[in-house]
A and B are shown apart, each in its own frame.
Chain A
Amino acid sequence: LAKTTQPISMDSYEGQEVNITCSHNNIATNDYITWYQQFPSQGPRFIIQGYKTKVTNEVASLFIPADRKSSTLSLPRVSLSDTAVYYCLLWANQAGTALIFGKGTTLSVSS
Chain B
Amino acid sequence: GAGVSQSPRYKVAKRGQDVALRCDPISGHVSLFWYQQALGQGPEFLTYFQNEAQLDKSGLPSDRFFAERPEGSVSTLKIQRTQQEDSAVYLCASTLTTGRTEAFFGQGTRLTVV
Do the two chains bind? no
Instruction: Enumerate chain B interface residues (CB-CB to A < 8 A).
Output: none
Instruction: Enumerate chain A interface residues (CB-CB to B < 8 A).
Output: none
